[in-house]
């Protein structure tokens, strides 16, 4: 019996040593795996932006989008994310919607801005979408729905029909419940780290949940984020009650100016 | 006689015992992505030969226990791959390192299995590191054989 145990331990050590030795090699770098996937993702992201721009106008006036940049920088800096890694696009549309797309882009429709009563509500939504990006939910979902082959083909030949299908998937269908919960939790964490009051995030979900029975078609962020009421409660439970060192993101005047400018376009 | 190294296996026993190893090889080729196939094939062969001679049973048992061990490490690799393809896991250095490690172990087992199949077919007894002593503990010689020695 001792012999068996001894030989088993030796075998386990050999296995562990081989695994340890191999894990010291940076395969992702040497095989350019990260680069390939990120390159493909960026290409798909660019095609989607192009597709959205064909049907909707993007607001790229810095004086309007300045508030979005301030929010992004504040959240990213506090959470060790490079602000240059994420691009937020403000798109003119009546839809109450925001969604992450490949290539670390976030699309925010002006309809959502109109429904936000405070800047912290918008911060919560953006934190949630950043969460989807950081947890690689977007690409995982596209791989699940379309497969790696189709995505690689789209990246190389830019099939506009498939790009349209991708936009539809990302803007009007929900992530898995688990992924939504993860993005909610990460949003609360990001906001607290950035000293932004996360109550606004719970509030917007509650507000959208209250609207739910008569949800018009353009309320996409509600239909793609089901169980908003329950999630608002869960979000509230995740907020650290002892944290009070929240700081304003922008002044009330700046917020109102931004909201008016974005929704007047 | 309680030592298989001195066991005078007849031609039929040699063939059956050797086939036990070949069975696991065939299963490896057919069911490489699904680790359970290898085990099922070895189990099937083991149960169909459990009333055979000690020599045949011993070698079928060695094949079975080695497949059982491989099943555990391969199942982890299989689940990890599924989690990357359909779940939340992402391709990482650790995953590639693990897959290479199990590939190395499967390859070693593959080579040892071919060697054992050839040797056993010639009537030689082969005991592997760890699985040999384990098989000795599991597959005892029949009483009448012990009395004869």
| DSSP three-state, residue A100 | strand
Closest CA to B62 of B145, B129, B144: B129
pLDDT confidence of A158, banded at 50, 70, 90?
confident
Over 80: is that where the pLDDT of A208 sits? no
Distances (CA, A) of A201 to A54, A191, A222, A233, A248: 31, 9, 13, 11, 15
Q: Does B137 map to a domain?
A: no
pLDDT confidence of B148, banded at 50, 70, 90?
very low
Q: In chain B, how many H helices and how many E strands? A: 6, 0
Q: Does B33 map to a domain?
A: yes
> ipTM value of the model?
0.81
Q: d(Cα A63, Cα B74) in Å, to the nearest integer?
A: 57
Distance from CA of A48 to the nearest CA of B (A): 23
Q: Does B19 map to a domain?
A: yes
What would the pLDDT profile of A27-58 be if each residue is shown by its tens digit?
877 776 655 577 788 889 999 999 999 999 99
Cβ contacts below 8 Å, chain A against chain B, sum to 54
Predicted local confidence at residue A216, as pLDDT: 54
**Whether A33 and B91 lie within 8 Å, measured CB to CB:** yes
DSSP A226: -
Most confident of A182-196, A219-233, B19-33, B123-137: A182-196
Is the CB of residue B131 less than 8 Å from the CB of residue B66?
yes
Which has the higher per-residue pLDDT, A230 or B42? A230
Q: In chain A, how many H helices and how many E strands? A: 14, 4
Tell me the backbone φ, ψ of residue A181, rounded to 5 degrees: -65, -40
What would the pLDDT profile of B8-62 be if each residue is shown by its tens digit?
777 777 888 888 788 777 766 665 556 677 777 777 777 877 777 888 888 888 9
Task: Count Cβ atoms within 10 A of the Cβ of residue B86 and give its class: 0-12 exposed, 13-18 middle, 19 or more buried.
Answer: exposed
Token pair belonging to B47: 């149960």
Which has the higher per-residue pLDDT, A115 or A39? A115
Count of domains observed in chain B: 1
Predicted local confidence at residue A18, as pLDDT: 94
The CA dihedral of A39, A45, A48, A54, to the nearest 10 degrees, is -100
Provide the residue range defining the domain that includes B66. Answer: 9-124
Q: d(Cα B25, Cα B48) in Å, to the nearest integer?
A: 17
Predicted local confidence at residue A215, as pLDDT: 54
Over 50: is that where the pLDDT of A249 sits? yes
Q: Does B53 map to a domain?
A: yes
Token pair belonging to B143: 């009483």
CA A44, A46, A49, A51 torsion-angle sign = negative
Q: Does B39 map to a domain?
A: yes
Which has the higher per-residue pLDDT, B34 or A85? A85
Q: d(Cα B26, Cα B14) in Å, to the nearest integer?
A: 18
Which has the higher per-residue pLDDT, A125 or A229? A125
A107 sits in which H/E element: strand A105-109
Which of A15, A28, A140 is facing B88, going by the closest CB pair?
A140
Over 50: is that where the pLDDT of B147 sits? no
Q: Does B135 map to a domain?
A: no
Task: Out of A58-72, A119-133, A191-205, B87-101, pick the least confident.
Answer: B87-101
For A120, what's the count of Cα atoms within 13 Å in the CB-facing half-sphere?
16
- Report the DSSP beta bridge partners of residue A132: none
Predicted local confidence at residue B32, as pLDDT: 58
Q: d(Cα B85, Cα B72) in Å, to the nearest integer?
A: 20
Cβ within 8 Å of residue B16, ≥6 positions away: B49, B52, B56
Backbone region of residue A98 per phi and psi (left: phi > 0; alpha: psi in -120 to 50; beta: other values): beta
Q: Does B132 map to a domain?
A: no
Residues of chain A found within 8 Å of residue B133, distances taken between Cβ atoms? 3-4, 7
Q: Does B72 map to a domain?
A: yes
Interface of chain B toward chain A, CB-CB under 8 angstroms: 73, 85-86, 88, 90-94, 96-98, 100-101, 104-105, 129-130, 133-134, 137
Residues of chain B found within 8 Å of residue A146, distances taken between Cβ atoms? none
Distance from CA of A176 to the nearest CA of B (A): 11
pLDDT confidence of B124, banded at 50, 70, 90?
confident
């Amino acid at each position: 019996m001792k012999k068996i145990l001894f030989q088993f331990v030796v075998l386990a050590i050999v296995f562990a040593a081989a695994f340890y030795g191999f894990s010291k090699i940076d395969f992702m770098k040497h095989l350019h795996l990260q680069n390939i996937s990120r390159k493909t993702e960026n290409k798909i992201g660019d095609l989607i932006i192009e597709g959205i721009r064909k049907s909707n106008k993007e607001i790229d006036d810095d004086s309007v989008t300045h508030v979005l940049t301030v929010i992004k920088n504040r959240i990213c800096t506090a959470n060790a994310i490079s602000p240059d890694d994420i691009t937020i696009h403000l798109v003119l549309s009546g839809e109450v919607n925001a969604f992450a797309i490949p290539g670390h882009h976030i699309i925010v429709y002006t309809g959502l801005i109109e429904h936000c009563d405070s800047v912290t509500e918008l911060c919560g939504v953006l934190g949630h979408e950043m969460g989807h990006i950081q947890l690689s939910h977007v690409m995982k979902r596209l791989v699940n729905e379309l497969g790696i082959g189709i995505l690689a083909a789209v990246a190389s030949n830019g099939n506009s029909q498939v790009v349209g299908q991708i936009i539809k998937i990302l803007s009007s269908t929900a992530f898995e419940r688990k992924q939504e919960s993860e993005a909610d939790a990460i949003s609360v964490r990001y906001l607290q780290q950035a000293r932004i009051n996360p109550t606004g995030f719970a509030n917007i979900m509650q507000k959208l949940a209250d609207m739910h029975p008569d949800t018009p078609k353009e309320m996409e962020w509600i239909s793609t984020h089901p169980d908003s009421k329950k999630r608002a409660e869960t979000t509230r439970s995740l907020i650290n009650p002892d944290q009070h060192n929240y700081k304003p993101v922008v002044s009330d005047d700046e917020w109102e100016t931004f909201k008016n400018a974005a929704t007047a376009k | 006689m309680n030592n298989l190294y001195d066991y005078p296996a007849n031609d039929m026993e040699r063939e059956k015992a050797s086939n036990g190893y070949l069975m696991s090889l065939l299963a490896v080729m057919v069911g490489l992505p699904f680790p359970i196939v290898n085990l099922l094939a070895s189990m099937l062969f083991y149960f169909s030969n459990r009333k055979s001679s000690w020599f045949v049973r011993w070698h079928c048992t060695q094949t079975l226990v080695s497949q059982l061990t491989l099943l555990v490490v391969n199942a982890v690799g299989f689940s990890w791959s599924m989690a990357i393809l359909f779940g939340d896991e992402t391709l990482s250095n650790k995953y590639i390192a693990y897959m290479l490690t199990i590939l190395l172990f499967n390859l070693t087992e593959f080579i040892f299995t071919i060697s054992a199949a050839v040797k056993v077919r010639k009537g030689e007894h082969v005991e592997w590191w760890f699985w040999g002593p384990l098989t000795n503990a599991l597959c005892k010689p029949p009483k009448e054989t012990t009395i004869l020695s």
